């Protein structure tokens, strides 16, 4: 239970509640964040999102972070992660891939195009190997696109300078996501459940029969064989040691 409390503290720290207001800190050696984060630390620098800009801060003096670089983007940045030395940004219009081989000065490697039906969607992303998994959540009264659709999109990142969409899976109101081994977990607020996908073949996902019923799940953290899901009613803990079977082992109400 001690490990659960530590993970829960990390969840409380990043303050998960909506697709446009969350912030989180992902450090190399302490804690874990979910997929809905707006700033991240890497090799002595911190990358923070404005709606149309990535700001880079030097953490050489942690008491006084210094702004050292600004990278302009289109409007609508939502989320940021670092995976194997590359930054991935989710926005309301695209998936961005950033080169941080020189950590102080990130550069845009690629910016995907998105069909009109997905414009305005809130957009967290996770990466595994050469594939990115990104949810596009359209809420009419929040994102303002009445004719839009919500979905899980899959991108082939074999060439990071030219990501290619290779999968599209329509969902209700998907939000945060994460994975363990070859199982992808997607919070679907509209369906009041966490949906499981087999991603052993990234270009042909299979939705598993098992789903985790939960009122308005927002985001999740996978840590080894444990998972915490942040939902409207509280934080729910799951055992993932026998995938694809998932067992609920605890809950803390909000």
pLDDT on residue 9 = 46
Using CA atoms, how far residue 79 sits from 36, 62, 158, 205, 213, in Å, is: 6, 23, 22, 23, 25
pLDDT, one tens digit per residue, over 199-227 is: 999 999 999 999 999 999 999 999 999 99
Structure tokens belonging to residue 1: 């239970």
pLDDT on residue 12 = 43
pLDDT on residue 20 = 36
pLDDT on residue 93 = 83
9 SS3 class: helix
Note every long-range contact of 67-73, with CB atoms under 8 Å and residues 24 or more positions apart, other chains counting.
68/104, 69/104, 69/105, 69/106, 71/98, 71/106, 71/107, 71/108, 73/108, 73/111
CA nearest to 220, candidates 25, 36, 91, 31: 36
Task: Give the number of domains in the chain.
Answer: 1
Phi-psi region of 120 (alpha: psi -120 to 50; beta: other; left: phi over 0): left
CA nearest to 151, candidates 88, 195, 211: 195
| Residue that has been written with the tokens 């369906």 in this structure | 191
Residues of the chain with pLDDT below 50 are 1-31, 117-118, 141-146
Domain assignment of residue 183, given as a range: 2-253
The CATH number assigned to the domain holding 184 equals: 2.130.10.10
Distance (Å, rounded) from C-alpha 103 to C-alpha 83? 13
């Amino acid at each position: 239970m001690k490990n659960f409390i530590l993970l829960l503290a990390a969840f409380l720290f990043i303050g998960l509640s909506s697709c446009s207001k969350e912030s989180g800190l992902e450090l190399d050696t302490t804690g874990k964040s979910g997929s809905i984060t707006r700033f991240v630390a890497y090799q002595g620098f911190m990358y923070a999102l404005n709606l149309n800009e990535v700001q880079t801060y030097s953490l050489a003096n942690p008491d006084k972070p210094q702004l050292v670089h600004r990278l302009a983007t289109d409007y609508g940045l939502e989320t940021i992660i670092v995976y194997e030395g590359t930054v991935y940004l989710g926005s309301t219009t695209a998936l961005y891939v950033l080169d941080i081989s020189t950590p102080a000065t990130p550069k845009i490697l690629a910016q995907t195009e998105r069909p009109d039906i997905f414009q305005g969607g809130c957009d967290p992303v996770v990466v595994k190997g050469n594939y990115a998994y990104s949810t596009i959540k359209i809420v009419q009264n929040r994102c303002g696109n009445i004719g839009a659709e919500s979905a899980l999109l899959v991108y082939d990142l074999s060439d990071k300078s030219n990501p290619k969409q290779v999968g599209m899976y329509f969902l209700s109101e998907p939000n945060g996501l994460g994975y363990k081994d070859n199982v992808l977990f997607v919070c679907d607020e509209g369906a009041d459940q966490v949906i499981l996908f087999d991603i052993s073949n990234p270009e042909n996902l299979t939705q598993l029969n098992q789903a985790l019923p939960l009122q308005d799940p927002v985001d999740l953290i996978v840590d080894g064989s444990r998972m915490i899901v942040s939902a409207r009613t509280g934080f729910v803990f799951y055992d993932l040691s026998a995938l694809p079977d998932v067992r609920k082992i605890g809950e803390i109400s909000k």
